[in-house]
Amino acid sequence: MNIHEYQAKEIFRTHGIPIPPGGVATTPAEAEALARRYASTVVVKAQVHAGGRGKAGGVKLAKTPEETRDIAAKILGMHIKGLTVHKVLVTPAADIATEAYVGIIVDRASKRAVFMVSPAGGIDIEEVAAKTPDKIMRLPVDPVYGLLPFQALQMGLFLYADIKQARAAAKIMQQLYAAFWASGASLAEINPLVTTPSGDVVALDAKMVIDDNELDRRPELALLRDETAEDPAEVRAREAGLTFIKLDGNVGCVVNGAGLAMATMDLVKYYGGEPANFLDIGGSSNPDKVVAALQIITSDPHVRAILFNIFGGITRTDDVANGIVTATKASPLRVPIVIRLTGTNEEVAVKILQEHGFSAMTEMDAAVQRAVELATAGARA
Amino acid sequence: MNIHEYQAKEIFRTHGIPIPPGGVATTPAEAEALARRYASTVVVKAQVHAGGRGKAGGVKLAKTPEETRDIAAKILGMHIKGLTVHKVLVTPAADIATEAYVGIIVDRASKRAVFMVSPAGGIDIEEVAAKTPDKIMRLPVDPVYGLLPFQALQMGLFLYADIKQARAAAKIMQQLYAAFWASGASLAEINPLVTTPSGDVVALDAKMVIDDNELDRRPELALLRDETAEDPAEVRAREAGLTFIKLDGNVGCVVNGAGLAMATMDLVKYYGGEPANFLDIGGSSNPDKVVAALQIITSDPHVRAILFNIFGGITRTDDVANGIVTATKASPLRVPIVIRLTGTNEEVAVKILQEHGFSAMTEMDAAVQRAVELATAGARA
Amino acid sequence: MSVFIDDSTRLVVQGITGRDGSFHAKQMIEYGTKVVAGVTPGKGGQRFETGVPIFNTVVDAVRETQANTTVIYVPPPFAADAMMEAADAGLSLIVCITEGVPVLDMTRVYPYVKARGARLIGPNCPGLISPGSSKVGIIPGRICAPGPIGLVSRSGTLTYEVVYHLTRAGLGQTTCVGIGGDPINGTNFIDCLDAFERDPATKAVVMIGEIGGTDEQDAARFVKDTMKKPVVGFIAGQTAPPGRRMGHAGAIISGSAGTAAEKIAAFEDAGMGVAKRPIDVVDLVRQRAR
Amino acid sequence: MSVFIDDSTRLVVQGITGRDGSFHAKQMIEYGTKVVAGVTPGKGGQRFETGVPIFNTVVDAVRETQANTTVIYVPPPFAADAMMEAADAGLSLIVCITEGVPVLDMTRVYPYVKARGARLIGPNCPGLISPGSSKVGIIPGRICAPGPIGLVSRSGTLTYEVVYHLTRAGLGQTTCVGIGGDPINGTNFIDCLDAFERDPATKAVVMIGEIGGTDEQDAARFVKDTMKKPVVGFIAGQTAPPGRRMGHAGAIISGSAGTAAEKIAAFEDAGMGVAKRPIDVVDLVRQRAR
């Protein structure tokens, strides 16, 4: 789960990381009031779950409260990478001497949380990694010992020659690691970590991604989810217990299992079609999920054909069949549907479908080919 | 550092361990007021750093506030194992169905904190260990993982067949481990952990020993030290940075290093004498420490001779010599002194001593023999 | 012959009285797996519907039944503890089916289990099956058949799809292992490839990967450097857009490492057969395993 | 010949600019120890009075000077971190002189250092010396002489007392090791006895113990079962009252294990010579080492 910069900053602050003040505004007037309170030049920053906000015009300096209002008016409602800006963060502009990067990610290879730090901050860290890899220090953290003081200082000294700044950065890294762990994060990032002309070390930006698997046991973090910042169909899918990602094609896919769902999309493409989405109904065979899945897919006007691909293991195919019958009774389909199912209770499922005028296929390739044909024909019509 | 039962209970409570209420009284009137507040039969418990309080008459039931006052009057001022009772804990008496033992100690052999739990609680655990060792479960805790939930439940199930009680006990063990670790303890103990007739699991007693080496970084714990509960000479020694333990003999010993100090005591005994104390001035060679050491030793009326045994390594023997000169100038000795010193700056030290009328020896055995002779002669005189 | 499980597997089911645990315990018993014990704290002394004894703790179960393997169906918040309990009790193979285990839990579980000498498969995996001999997990028994093919996969139902094609084509399996798609899991492709290479009954291996991470690339290097047996690969997610999660926590394309194109190139570089569609696996295996 | 340290020892001094660290660094250099680097964060790039280069971190020091050993003189709150830093930097021998390290810190340090393959001596120990070759720690060099005796001790000044007698009697030492008296330390008696048994130059061993714990009893069993070389022992604290601390955190008599009487009985049972007084060690060694 992505959270906003202002939310990540709030978490970082509670762990002691030095961060300039800031307030969130949802209207230009609120932004103006905040600028008046800080009585200095401010930065207005779009709060959306997308990188490259600066390049997209979502981050601007404002010298006066009036200018803040005007800039906020421009940024609020702006679209960045397909997402609408509903909130801006207003924060006093800082004098910057140097910019560094500090991040933690969970690394599959070492099976650990790994720090990445670089004295070349403020820019895209992937770019630094590609062009000047020697400017990045990687430090895997032993999960049972946590970040040890000497390791934090090693990283602090990699960023700063001055021992006072190195110690200040080391302390911030300890705090960042504590915030990362306490929040069940899969990523925590400060970019840039800056030094001011007077020598202080301060975090100017904050980013954090929470592991979705942590939300059940951390309800206070689940509350941070901003559904206005997400695609509404994806929000609805999540509420129904589905994993859904909107894509650009016209073949709507309903599959059980993430691997099979990806393979189904690949096969749609293989046979000349374009998938309209990734949708995994998961292992459980609740007919309600199937109903929700059909509702989400049919609400996409680009969909020209619907493809079910179900390999029943834990999933009972008869449950899926019942879900299809229920959903189509409630709101009849306006696009053709192709159903492939095999596995647990297959005979029952086929009978249910046939009784309600559907036919079922057993081979994945044939079903995908058929769905692509129907979608192509539909698109031509 | 030992702390009192009521202090340990306060720490345990902050970690969530269920403990009946209780209050500390230093006068019979205060004890009476507490009994009135609890409005039930209470237990009055002497707060001293000694085991076997019950057998010594330091723990009594009182049915009425008046009886509480009378019993508190008897216990306050009582001597238990040489220590005077200055405080009593007054706590409502609990109905007890079963009594168990739960303790954590740092174990040298496994180099870990080790839980010891037994369903045979309320009595001396060493006795249980000796007579019915199968009634004790030992569980070493991996220090980097801490006490894991399944381990706590294993111990809970060792104590109680009822799963609810086992889970309650498991939770208490998690909390006890957290208290142990957060306090830098070398021992934490609940004896007894009881079940009530209604099935609740409650800690009725609490004991904790803090590692002295932790006190510098945990000043809030250092404040728990109750100097009225200790030997005044030992308190003075600790304040001067010395390790001092009062013994029953008449040869006062001042030594640098714990091992050499013990070997010196052994040698006193070997040559027919009795050491009056263990005193280690440590590695540092601050003359003030020597002055404090001499003051402490000469304040013991049983001391008939004083023996210095200094092997200079880090310790500079000239510092020790200067300390002896300063101390004896301020208050001249009334008992003979034997000084053995060798090692760092030995020649300087000998010169200083000789200039002030002292002689110095270089051999430990000769010095100890001489000190024993002088003490024996002094005792006879 | 087979890898990891066979007739000598004596299985504990952790969470045997739960919804999933009881359903799959019965399925495994029906398949012929030696389920010797169940574990549910507080139900020790009772018996499962089929008569299998239930214990309060894994260590009790091991002591009383000489179990050597466990399969875990407990809910995600308790799965880490269940894996560590199993390792502590001395079991040599731990299969965790549970989906949704927090990844930071796994950073602690992995070294714990490893230090105690146990093999962990999963979490978030379908388990494994040695057809005709033993099934540990949830892979449907009837789509498998005994034979000479070893199969290892990061996926669940996609594995079934491939196994279904293999079995229908007369290509039975020594063992099918679902290692799970989480970012941190106990057993990776190389562990399984190595086991198949050593297993005399396995004549060819099928490896089913996904986008995300570099495990498939590492595995390809292992195939190239070490393996003599033929290996056929398939990668799911060739058309997945970069930077989006496709259900599995592991299927994130991080930086430039982890695209389907990279993985397929690595497979080709290792001389592996690379299937374009799941069904193509059959022909590729036939060509190479002759 | 010697154990643990010799002419090939290349030493880092952690805390070289502190009061104790600078004093003993000079002492060690005077004795002839190859002190190749000092570490004090923030003073990297400077030089110690004797010209030894100072680094910010141990890993820097190792990279630049190929050091293989470190000695730690940092204050107690930082000692645990210093030991772990040294182990992480790949040093094979870590000697921690610092007194007053919290015992719970050591429960974490011990497995960390061990997992990284380093030997830790101490904390709260005087270090070790291989007379005429190398000295790491604070044992006064002038009381030692080269010779055939190995010495291991839990104590500081009591060690000096015994070494002083040995040297004066013409019994020089291969190595004297002070393992420290804390409840948890890195190297125990058995580690040292084993090293002395394997060291061809060592002809006899002196072991100086204390009340508290069971290390001496375990060591006695090792002597009985494994050692061919003669061992002479001494136990301090024969007259200490039970249940009181005698300065060393380790010298607590816990239950029935740890009294001087028990330890002496274990020594006698192992056929060791047992000295009643420190000075008696000399005659016992002479009798047995002939």
Q: Tens digits of per-residue pLDDT, A110-165?
A: 899 999 999 998 777 777 887 888 999 999 999 999 999 999 999 999 999 999 99
Return mean pLDDT, chain D. 93
Rounded to whole angstroms, the Cα distance separating D13 from D136 reads 9
**Domain-located, residue D129:** no
C89 shares its domain with C154 = no
- Both tokens assigned to C87: 């390792």
Nearest to B154 among C42, C57, C78 (CB): C57
| Average pLDDT for B272-286 | 88
All partners of chain A with 3 or more CB pairs under 8 angstroms: B, C, D
Q: What's the CATH superfamily of A21-92? A: ATP-grasp fold, A domain (3.30.1490.20)
Chain B: nearest CA to D241, how far in angstroms? Answer: 8
Q: How many domains does chain C have?
A: 2
Provide the pLDDT for residue B133: 85
pLDDT exceeds cutoff 90 at C213? no
> Chain-wide mean pLDDT for chain C?
93
D220 and D109 fall within a common domain: no
Taking residues B361-381, report their average pLDDT.
Answer: 93
Structural domain for C155, as ranges = 139-288
Weakest-pLDDT range from A169-183, C92-106, D123-137, D241-255: D241-255
In the predicted model, what is the mean pLDDT of residues B277-287?
Answer: 84
Tokens in use for A310?
């179900």
Q: Which positions of chain A have pLDDT values less than 50?
A: none
User: Which residue of D81, D83, D239, D256 to mutate against B (max B Cβ within 10 Å)?
Assistant: D239
Q: Which residue intervals of chain B bear CATH 3.30.1490.20?
A: 21-92
Q: Among C44, C59, C81, select the one facing B148 at the smallest CB separation.
A: C81
d(CA A224, CA B140): 40
Does B231-376 carry CATH code 3.40.630.10?
Answer: no
Residue D264 falls inside a structural domain: yes
- Inter-chain Cβ pairs, chain B and chain D, closer than 8 A: 160
Q: Which residues contact D150 (CB under 8 A, 6 or more apart)?
A: D3, D173, D174, D175, D176, D177, D192, D195, D196, D199, D202, D204, D205, D206
* D45 in any annotated domain: yes
Closest A-chain CA to D111: A145
- C280 lies in a domain? yes
Virtual CA dihedral for B176, B177, B182, B185, nearest 10 degrees?
90
Per residue in C3-51, pLDDT (tens digit) is 999 999 999 999 999 988 999 999 999 999 999 999 999 999 999 999 9
Domain boundary among D69, D94, D121: D121
Same domain, C112 and C212: no
Task: Enumerate the residues of chain C whose CB falls inside 8 A of the CB of residue A211.
Answer: 102-104, 249
> Based on the domain organization, do D107 and D161 belong to the same domain?
no
Q: Chain B, 248-287: which have a CB under 8 Å from a chain D CB?
A: 255-263, 265-270, 275, 278, 280, 283
> C143 and C284, same structural domain?
yes
Tens-digit pLDDT profile for residues C164-195: 999 999 999 999 999 998 989 999 999 999 99
Q: Do residues A336 and A346 make contact, with C-beta atoms less than 8 angstroms apart?
A: no
pLDDT band of residue C256 (cuts 50, 70, 90) is very low
C180 lies in the same domain as C218: yes
CB contact under 8 A, D238 and B269: yes
Residue of A5, A189, A274, A346 marked catalytic: A189
List chain C residues with CB under 8 Å of A217: 77, 102
Yes or no: say if A214 and C104 are a contact pair by the CB < 8 Å rule: yes
Mark which of C53, C87, C121 sits at the end of a domain. Answer: C121
Q: What is the pLDDT of residue B339?
A: 97
Question: Min CA distance, A143 vs chain B (Å)?
Answer: 9
pLDDT at residue D254 in the model: 44
Closest-approach residue (CA) in chain A for D85: A150
Same domain? For D105 and D61 the reply is yes
Q: Which of C139, C247, C277 is nearest residue A243 as measured by Cβ atoms?
A: C247
What three-state secondary structure class fits A207? strand
Domain's final residue, options C121, C149, C170 = C121
* Packing angle, helices D215-226 and D260-269, rounded to 10: 0
User: Does residue C81 contact residue B148 with C-beta atoms inside 8 Å?
Assistant: yes
* Cβ within 8 Å, pair C158-A344: no
C147 and C250 part of one domain: yes
Surface of D (11-30) touching B: CB under 8 A: 20
Distance, CA of D126 to CA of A267 (rounded, Å):
72
- Per the annotation, the verdict on A127 as an active-site residue is no
Answer yes or no: do D70 and D202 share one domain.
no
Q: Is the predicted pLDDT of residue B179 greater than 90, yes or no?
A: yes
* Whole-number pLDDT of residue D244: 56
Identify whether D69 is part of a domain: yes
Has residue D251 got a pLDDT over 70? no
Contact between residue B367 and residue B334 where contact means Cβ atoms under 8 Å apart: no
Q: Which two tokens stand for residue B143?
A: 């220090």
Query: Is position C132 within any domain?
Result: no
Helical spans, DSSP H, in A15-79: 28-38, 65-75
CATH code of residue D177: 3.40.50.261
Nearest to B313 by CA among B364, B356, B257: B257
Q: What angle do CA B351, B353, B359 make, to 5 degrees?
A: 105
Maximum C-alpha span of chain D: 56
Best mean pLDDT range from A221-235, C236-250, D212-226, D239-253:
D212-226
Give yes or no: residues C48 and C111 share one domain.
Answer: yes
C58 and chain B: CB distance < 8 Å anywhere? Answer: yes
What pLDDT score does A60 carry? Answer: 95
Whichever domain contains D55, its CATH number is 3.40.50.720
CA distance B128 to B119: 10
Residue type, D55: F
**pLDDT score recorded for residue D159:** 96
Nearest to B112 among D107, D155, D234 (CB): D107
The burial class, CB within 10 Å (0-12 / 13-18 / 19+), for D146 is middle
| CA-based nearest residue in chain A for residue B144 | A144
Residue C250 has pLDDT above 60, yes or no: no
- D102 lies in the same domain as D169: no
Residue D1 is assigned to a structural domain of this protein:
no
Does residue C256 belong to any structural domain of this protein? yes
Contact C140 A313 (CB under 8 A): yes
Residue D208 near residue D277, CB atoms below 8 Å = no
Q: Which residue of B has its CA nearest to C57?
A: B154
How high is the pLDDT of residue C290?
66
Task: Provide CATH code, domain B98-222.
Answer: 3.30.470.20
In chain B, list all ranges with CATH 3.40.50.261.
231-376
Which residues of B are designated catalytic? Answer: 101, 189
Record the tokens describing residue C257, joined without a space.
């490492």
Contacts of A148 in chain D (CB under 8 A): 81, 84-85, 88
Q: What is the DSSP letter of C252?
A: -
Side-chain-side CA neighbours of A21 within 13 Å: the count stands at 9
- Could you tell me if C103 and C219 lie in one domain? no
